[in-house]
């Protein structure tokens, strides 16, 4: 049973029953004092590096030396796990994707960020500064961090030419190496993956009338579930740990899956026969925001990290490491690790093409009524269980 299934389901459901209008949860911080000695961060794997995996990628050690704030990281493999951890408390910050951020705001788990105390805010990509996944009624509840797409990762020995469609993971077929894809593909271990199925159906079954993969009528939603139940017969593993997925591609015969550029970059750096593509149907993606807990135990160190998190050096190094696009576009030139072509390579020009993760709600824009996220949670658990 997956991590997001084991913990926090009741908490997630209760948060989704809350409204999304902004509320003054706590007094806005107006000044930064001396650091408290620590900052505790819930983060995606690969987002907070101190050189343990590769000495060239370390944006923690210098921060600790400069501020006296020791960085402690709890990694989470899905947005639902992040919401559950923030609901439990004890953390200062979280690198939340769009399918978690509005839940955290609605559940009053995060506080308003005073962007006047973050001098580099002015350098954040204007497309992200007021993004609706962290800004409600003009109030900012976080600082943008990185963004990117969920790519189709594939084995180049199996696919001498890049597959151009997500059908290789959704439909049973014989692959170019003459073998079936059954048992050789993977899917993401989180209910937001229902949107990937919906995105595929947008292109392949236009008569369904899907306009947004996060805004599904009952009929459209059932079609997506039917596709996922079909896919269940093909899936080797539902992944949420990128390192386990990399091992599966290296040692367990997996040849195609949705993935983050992070896995692709690491495997290619080890000369594995791996590449990736955004297929013709498009892709879902993530635009992540560093958000501050309503009861952050170390608010001064947290604000120091918020400023540090968007400096060009960190932003460029992280983009090179993860295969993502910086929130601070000043990182796109002059960074030794990223290179001056790195932002373009990582998809800078794809911003308008990506359907960024966000929390599905019943009151939606493209349909009269949509299936809310708590249903996605319940039904995806059933899909994983073969029901």
Confidence of residue 352 (pLDDT cuts 50, 70, 90): confident
Total number of domains constituting the chain: 2
Q: Indicate whether 273 pLDDT > 80.
A: yes
Contact in structure between 152 and 163 (CB atoms under 8 Å): yes
The pLDDT assigned to 332 comes to: 97
One domain, residues 169 and 214: yes
Taking the CB of residue 7, how many other CB atoms lie within 10 A of it?
A: 17
One domain, residues 230 and 375: yes
CB-based contacts of 135, cutoff 8 Å, min separation 6: 129, 141
CA distances from 196 to 5, 201, 217 (A): 19, 9, 16
The pLDDT assigned to 20 comes to: 43
Residue 257 has φ and ψ, to the nearest 5°, of: -170, 155
Which one has a higher pLDDT value, 346 or 309? Answer: 309
The pLDDT assigned to 59 comes to: 98
The pLDDT assigned to 364 comes to: 93
For residue 252, the surrounding DSSP H or E stretch is: none
One domain, residues 135 and 238: no
The candidate with the shortest Cα–Cα distance to 121, out of 324, 308, 322, is 308
One domain, residues 58 and 198: no
Angle, vertex CA 154, rays to CA 223 and CA 190, nearest 5: 45
Average pLDDT for 55-72 = 98
One domain, residues 351 and 317: yes
One domain, residues 154 and 52: no
Q: Indicate whether 12 pLDDT > 70.
A: no
pLDDT digits (tens, 9 = 90+) for 76-88: 988 999 999 999 9
Confidence of residue 7 (pLDDT cuts 50, 70, 90): very low
Give all strands of the β-sheet with 274-277 in edge-to-edge order: 235-239, 185-188, 256-259, 151-155, 274-277
The candidate with the shortest Cα–Cα distance to 262, out of 341, 185, 324, 187, is 324
The pLDDT assigned to 93 comes to: 98
CA dist 319 and 311 (Å) reads 12
Q: Indicate whether 302 pLDDT > 60.
A: yes
The pLDDT assigned to 26 comes to: 60
Q: Indicate whether 23 pLDDT > 70.
A: no
One domain, residues 256 and 334: no
For residue 379, the surrounding DSSP H or E stretch is: helix 373-384
One domain, residues 154 and 142: no
Q: Which sign, positive or negative, has the C-alpha torsion 148, 171, 266, 84?
A: positive
The radius of gyration of the chain from alpha carbons, rounded to an integer in Å, stands at 20
The pLDDT assigned to 10 comes to: 39
The candidate with the shortest Cα–Cα distance to 124, out of 286, 291, 310, is 310
The pLDDT assigned to 265 comes to: 87
Residue 381 has φ and ψ, to the nearest 5°, of: -60, -45
Read off the pTM: 0.84
Contact in structure between 104 and 94 (CB atoms under 8 Å): yes
Residue whose pair of structure tokens reads 């805010």 in the numeric block:
121
Q: Any idea what the CATH number is for the domain that residue 377 is in?
A: 3.40.190.10
pLDDT digits (tens, 9 = 90+) for 312-342: 999 999 999 999 999 999 999 999 999 999 9
One domain, residues 138 and 42: yes
The pLDDT assigned to 13 comes to: 39
In 176-273, the DSSP E strands lie at 185-188, 235-239, 256-259
One domain, residues 260 and 291: no
pLDDT digits (tens, 9 = 90+) for 151-174: 999 999 999 999 999 999 999 999
Length of the chain: 387
CA dist 303 and 117 (Å) reads 8
Q: Indicate whether 18 pLDDT > 80.
A: no
pLDDT digits (tens, 9 = 90+) for 186-228: 999 999 999 999 999 999 999 999 999 999 999 999 999 999 9
The pLDDT assigned to 375 comes to: 97
- DSSP string covering 123-157, please? GB-HHHHT-TTTEETTEE--EEEEEEE-EEEEETT
Q: Across all residues in the chain, what is the average pLDDT?
A: 92
Range of the domain at 184: 149-284+360-384
CA dist 189 and 16 (Å) reads 20
DSSP class of residue 304?
H
One domain, residues 24 and 50: yes
Q: Which two tokens stand for residue 334?
A: 């002059």
State percent of the chain over pLDDT 70. 93
One domain, residues 246 and 274: yes
């Amino acid at each position: 049973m997956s991590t997001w299934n084991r913990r926090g389901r009741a908490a997630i459901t209760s948060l989704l029953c809350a409204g999304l209008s902004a509320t003054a949860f706590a007094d806005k911080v107006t000044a930064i004092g001396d650091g408290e000695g620590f900052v505790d961060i819930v983060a995606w794997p690969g987002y907070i590096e101190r050189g343990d995996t590769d000495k060239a990628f370390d944006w923690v050690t210098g921060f600790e030396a400069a501020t006296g704030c020791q960085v402690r990281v709890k990694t989470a493999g899905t947005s639902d796990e992040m919401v559950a951890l923030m609901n439990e408390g004890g953390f200062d910050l979280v690198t939340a994707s769009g399918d978690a951020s509005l839940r955290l705001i609605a559940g009053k788990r995060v506080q308003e960020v005073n962007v006047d105390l973050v001098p580099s805010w002015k350098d954040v990509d204007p497309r992200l500064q007021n993004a609706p996944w962290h800004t409600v009624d003009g109030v900012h509840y976080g600082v943008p961090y990185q963004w990117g797409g969920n790519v189709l990762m594939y084995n180049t020995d199996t696919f001498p030419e890049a597959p151009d469609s997500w059908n290789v993971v959704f439909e049973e077929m014989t692959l170019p190496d003459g073998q079936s894809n059954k048992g050789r593909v993977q899917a993401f271990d989180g209910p937001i993956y229902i949107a990937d199925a919906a995105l595929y159906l947008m292109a392949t079954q236009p008569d369904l009338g899907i306009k947004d993969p996060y805004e599904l009528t009952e009929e459209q939603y059932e079609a997506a579930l039917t596709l996922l139940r079909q896919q269940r017969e093909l899936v080797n593993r539902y992944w949420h740990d990128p390192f386990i997925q990399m091992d599966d591609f290296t040692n367990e015969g997996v040849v195609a899956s949705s993935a983050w550029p992070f896995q692709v970059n690491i495997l290619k750096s080890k000369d594995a026969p791996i590449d990736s593509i955004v297929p013709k149907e498009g892709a879902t993606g993530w635009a992540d925001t560093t958000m501050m807990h309503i009861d952050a135990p170390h608010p001064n160190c947290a604000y120091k990290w918020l400023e540090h998190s968007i400096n060009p050096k960190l932003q460029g190094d992280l983009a090179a490491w993860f295969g993502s696009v910086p929130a601070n576009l000043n990182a796109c030139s002059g960074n030794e690790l990223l290179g001056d072509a790195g932002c373009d390579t990582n998809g800078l020009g794809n911003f308008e093409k990506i359907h960024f993760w966000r929390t599905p709600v019943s009151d939606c824009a493209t349909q009269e009524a949509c299936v809310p996220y708590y249903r996605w949670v319940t039904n995806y658990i059933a899909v994983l269980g073969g029901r």
